[in-house]
Amino acid sequence: MSLERLLEHRRTWQRKQVLSGVYEVWFAALLELLPETGRVLELGAGPGFLAGYAARHRPRLSWTSLDLIPTPWNDLAGDAQRLPFRAGSASAVVAVDLIHHLARPALFFAEVARVLPAGGLLGVVEPWLSPFSHPVYRFLHEEGYRPALDPWRPFADGAGKDAFEGDSGVVTNLVRGTSESEWRALGLEPPGLRLFGGFAYLLSGGFRRLCLLPRALLPVALRVDRAARAIAPLVALRALVTWRRAAWAPGASASSAPAVSPAPRWA
């Protein structure tokens, strides 16, 4: 767990101008789903890029940023699996690249359900496994992907886990392998999904030093990604996944959720 790593990400963001252009596609899609006004909680805010984008484009929203690592730019330090907020206190919860780092995703989902009102939105942008991205994440990405992992317990009990340790397959496996009744046991409606191509991101090199995408060619790469929407299930590298707080489950938690059959796999 390192503040220095987040600072390095901020330096890279400033140095590699194409990177903000790539991420802003995902940021814009996420903000489109938010209400006109209200309190938005951003969890796993990390280097603070989404909050800055939201401040410029959606200034009427009341934005609170939380990350496990204390930073000068985020509002709070805290654990997304144990939120320091009252029940029903947020209009929406958002996150970018958070869930695939969590040791116990069920605790996160139950906590989000607790702080949202009925119908409130949870929206996340996460890595997504497709025939194209599968070898990228498994063999080329620093976080990797373990085919046999349990997405509800991807890091055993989480003891000694570093905040940056992740597995790129977690969210894909959660979405594909979790039943409607299991989501509702956590207080959420089943997820919605929007897939994004990732050619521009790959060419940008992400937060590595390497960049194969000149700024002048960024619009071309983004057009290629938009054109690939027709075959997104085959080439997607990222996904916007959304859940709504179930109307019937006030104060849902992983321990008090109603029983489902078969038993929830996070129990």
What are the structural domain ranges in the chain? 3-244
Query: Which alpha helices (DSSP H) does 214-263 contain, by range?
Result: 218-227, 232-235
User: For residue range 168-181, what is the model confidence (pLDDT) as tens digits?
Assistant: 999 999 999 999 99
| Residue 81 near residue 154, CB atoms below 8 Å | no
The DSSP call for residue 12 is H
251 pLDDT exceeds 60?
A: no
255 pLDDT exceeds 50?
A: no
Q: Which tokens is 117 given?
A: 């009102």
66 CB-side CA count, 13 A = 16
User: Where do we find the tokens 């963001």?
Assistant: 13
Q: Which helix (H) or strand (E) holds 176?
A: helix 170-177
- The sign of the torsion formed by the CA atoms of 5, 139, 159, 190 equals positive
Q: How many CB atoms lie within 10 A of CB 111?
A: 23
Q: What integer best gives the mean pLDDT of the chain? A: 92
Q: Which tokens is 262 given?
A: 């078969």
Q: Which helix (H) or strand (E) holds 239?
A: strand 236-244
Taking alpha carbons only, the member of 13, 138, 26 closest to residue 5 is 13
Cα–Cα distance for residue pair 81/124, rounded to 1 Å: 15
Taking alpha carbons only, the member of 228, 201, 230, 18 closest to residue 127 is 201
- Identify the CATH class of 3-244: alpha beta
**What per-residue confidence (pLDDT) applies to 267?**
66
Percent of the chain at pLDDT > 90 equals 82
User: For residue range 144-174, what is the model confidence (pLDDT) as tens digits?
Assistant: 899 889 999 999 766 678 888 999 999 999 9
DSSP-derived pairing of the beta strands 38-43 and 76-77: unpaired
User: For residue range 39-89, what is the model confidence (pLDDT) as tens digits?
Assistant: 999 999 999 999 999 999 999 999 999 999 999 999 999 999 999 999 999
Q: Report, as an integer, the average pLDDT of 116-123.
A: 97
C-alpha of 153 from chain center: 17
Q: Report, as an integer, the average pLDDT of 1-27.
A: 94
**What per-residue confidence (pLDDT) applies to 265?**
75
Polymer length in residues for the chain: 267
Residues 6+ apart with CB under 8 A from 56: none
